[in-house]
Amino acid sequence: MGKKVIVLLFFGCFTTLLMAQSPAKTKPGTKAPVKEKQDPVTLSARIEYVFIDGEEKGIYAGGCKVAEGRLKTGQEVQVTDDGGSAFRMKVLKIQDYGQKDEMGRAKDVKVSVGKELYLELATLDGKKLTGLKGGFNLGAGSMAESQKTGGGMVMEKLPLKCEIDGKEWTGRTFFNSCLYYQHGNAMMKVKHPFLMMAFQSAKKPDNRQLTIMIKEFKGAAQKVEKEDMEITFTGSADGTKEKTYMQSNWENGAANTRKTEFTFEITRWEQNGDEAVISGTFSGKLYGFNALKKVSNTIEPDAELVNGTFENVKVKCFSETYSEQEKQLKQK
C-alpha cells in the first residue's frame, strides 16, 4: 500500500470570544432590524492530522474536529505550542465533511458549524514556523490572554496505549483512520468485510504508526484468529528516515507468510448507523522488516507489544454492498 510521507502536528484549542452589541433602538410602530446570527461565545477545536506541503510558505493544513463553535475563512487565531511559543495564524480554507458537493466531496464553505472539517491555515508573515514543540492550542483571544491561560490547553485522553520492548507507546486516531467496510471495498478490490484502524504516535519526534486490519470481521465483540489479522508498525522512534523500518506480524513483511503468535480481542463493538464504538486488547511479537534495505543499512529489530489496549474508538461504517460501490465508482 503506497504511503505519503507526512509530518504530524496536533492542535488543540479552548478560548473565549468576548462580544458585546448594543441593542438597536427603534421608533414606535417600527420593526426592529433583523440581527445576523452571532458567533458562538466559545470555540473549541483541534487539528489532529496536519500536512505541511506548503510549510515553506507558512501554510499548514489538516483534518479539524470541532467540539463547540464555528470557524470562518479570514479569521485570525492565536496559536500556542506546548513549549509556550505563541504566534498568530489565519484561516485560508474550510471544507465541511458534513456537506457534500455534486461529486460527493467535502464542500468548500466560508463559515462552518460542522464538527469535522478540513482546515488550511497560514502564518501572517508567510514564513515557516520553527522550533515547534509538541501540540498546539488555537484561540482567538489576545496574546496576553493566551499566555495567561496557557492557550486554553485541554488534556487529551489518548485512545491507545501499549508497551513496546518495555517502553510505553501511546497513539491517537486521525481523520478517517478507523473504517469498517461491511461488504468489502470496491476501490481497494477487497470483497470480504474488513475493519481497519490506524494510530499515530502521540509524542514527537516519534512518527511511528500502528495499523491493524481485521479480515472477515462481522461487527461483533470477538477474539480474532491470527490468520485474519494483519498488523504493521512503521516509522522511526526519532522521526529520521535513516532509522525507518517496518515491524509486522508477517515474516519478512510479506502477506501469507508465517505469522507471529499475536493475540487480539475486540471487547466492545456498538454500532449505530454509520458509526460504531470499539474497544479491545492486544499483545504479541512483530517481526522486524526493513523497507529501505536497498538504500540504507538500518537495523531490523523485532518488537514485543504487550499490555495493549484501545478504548471507545470511533469507527466510520460503510454498509453499501460491493456491487453498489462499483456502480458508484463507474458513475464518477
Give CA–CA dist 239/200, Å, rounded. 12
pLDDT value of position 61? 80
Does residue 151 or residue 322 have the better pLDDT?
Answer: 322
Q: What percent of the chain has pLDDT over 90?
A: 26
Residue 241 pLDDT > 60 = yes
Does residue 35 or residue 314 have the better pLDDT?
Answer: 314
Q: How confident is the model at residue 131 (pLDDT cuts 50, 70, 90)?
A: confident
Over range 66-82, report the average pLDDT: 77
Residue 267 pLDDT > 90 = yes
Does residue 58 or residue 69 have the better pLDDT?
Answer: 58
Give CA–CA dist 2/81, Å, rounded. 31
Residue 262 pLDDT > 80 = yes
Residue 18 pLDDT > 60 = no
Q: How confident is the model at residue 290 (pLDDT cuts 50, 70, 90)?
A: low
Residue 169 pLDDT > 60 = yes
pLDDT value of position 147? 37
By CB neighbour count within 10 A (0-12 exposed, 13-18 middle, 19+ buried), where does 279 fall?
Answer: middle
Does residue 293 or residue 330 have the better pLDDT?
Answer: 330
Over range 103-109, report the average pLDDT: 81
3-state secondary structure of 76: strand
pLDDT digits (tens, 9 = 90+) for 295-332: 555 567 888 999 999 999 999 999 888 888 888 877 76
pLDDT value of position 154? 36
pTM of the model: 0.58
pLDDT value of position 39? 42
Cβ atoms of 282 and 305 within 8 Å: the answer is yes
Average pLDDT of the residues of the chain: 75
pLDDT value of position 226? 87
Sequence ranges of the domains in the chain: 11-20+41-152, 160-331
pLDDT value of position 82? 55
Q: Per the CATH hierarchy, to which homologous superfamily does domain 11-20+41-152 belong?
A: Translation factors (2.40.30.10)
Q: What's the angle, vertex CA 143, arms to CA 141 and CA 148, rounded to 5?
A: 90
Residue 30 pLDDT > 50 = no
* Continuous segment of H or E residues that includes residue 329: helix 322-331
Q: How confident is the model at residue 186 (pLDDT cuts 50, 70, 90)?
A: confident
The CA–CA distances, whole Å, from 76 to 89, 187, 316 equal: 6, 39, 32
Residue 100 pLDDT > 60 = yes
| Cell numbers placing 238 | 526519532
Give CA–CA dist 97/118, Å, rounded. 7
